[in-house]
Amino acid sequence: QKEVEQNSGPLSVPEGAIASLNCTYSDRGSQSFFWYRQYSGKSPELIMFIYSNGDKEDGRFTAQLNKASQYVSLLIRDSQPSDSATYLCAVGNAGNNRKLIWGLGTSLAVNP
Amino acid sequence: DGGITQSPKYLFRKEGQNVTLSCEQNLNHDAMYWYRQDPGQGLRLIYYSQIVNDFQKGDIAEGYSVSREKKESFPLTVTSAQKNPTAFYLCASNEGHTGNTIYFGEGSWLTVV
């Protein structure tokens, strides 16, 4: 059973701090990794994707991938109250790119 | 604007009734998906379609049916056989063979009354 695991949280950080969200996956054949943000009652929206080991930065967001250790993380710098949401990690593999495996999400609360 | 349109946003169903949720995309995506989301259970795949006139069952297909007669459209019918249909339903799409970044519609809330 291929799995993606996330700490459900809630993760609470003060405004302006760095929020660190982690995700581990079981399938070593995984090749694509996604972070989505979901506000309460809304649909998920894509934040970032990463395919290669290392860091990928986009504005205040940085995705970090370590395939050897089978984890992917999302760092949010200068956290804002508007970042308060659930963050979903999704993983895909070359064998079946069309079916992503989803984590249950981590709830993030940024306190003013 | 390009995107995925789901309708209705809110739907109430009486027990024993079938209901159909609409999903239309103008992104020219080959693949389309239906997910169900319940509190604390994350996203679960109901059905997906990689090409017109073809679709496959996901992890929780029982009590649901779909069709893919047009590239742009992938409606989901929640039948009376679905015992616990109250949930948030999400339609999504992606390019299929060229990439698997999934984009979601705004979702449809179904409540059984």
Angle at B72 between CA B3 and CA A33, to 5 degrees: 55
For residue B46, the chain A residue with the least C-alpha distance is A99
In terms of pLDDT, which residue wins out, A44 or B113? A44
Specify the pLDDT at position B42: 86
Q: Nearest by CB to A46, which of B43, B101, B107?
A: B101
List B96's β-bridge partners, or say none.
B99
Q: Tell me: the pLDDT tens digits for B36-89? A: 999 877 899 999 999 999 999 999 999 999 999 999 999 999 998 888 899 999
Q: Is the pLDDT of residue A94 over 80?
A: no
Residues of B in Cβ contact (< 8 Å) with A98: 31, 48, 50, 94, 96, 100
Q: What is the dihedral of CA A30, B73, B49, A105, to 10 degrees?
A: 40
Are A72 and A36 in contact by the 8 Å Cβ rule? The answer is: no
**Of the listed ranges A50-54, A71-75, B36-40, the one predicted with least confidence:** B36-40
- CB of A103 within 8 Å of a chain B CB? The answer is yes
Are B35 and B92 in contact by the 8 Å Cβ rule? The answer is: yes
Over residues A66-79, mean pLDDT: 97
- CB of A49 within 8 Å of a chain B CB? The answer is yes
Are B102 and A34 in contact by the 8 Å Cβ rule? The answer is: yes
A13 sits in the region (left: phi over 0; alpha: psi -120 to 50; else beta) called: beta
Contact state of B42 with A105 under an 8 Å Cβ cutoff? yes
- CB of A40 within 8 Å of a chain B CB? The answer is no
Q: Which of B47, B60, B101 to mutate to test the interface with A (most CBs of A within 10 A)?
A: B101
Are B22 and B14 in contact by the 8 Å Cβ rule? The answer is: no
Whose tokens are 């581990």? That residue is A24
Q: Tell me: the pLDDT tens digits for B3-16? A: 999 999 999 988 88
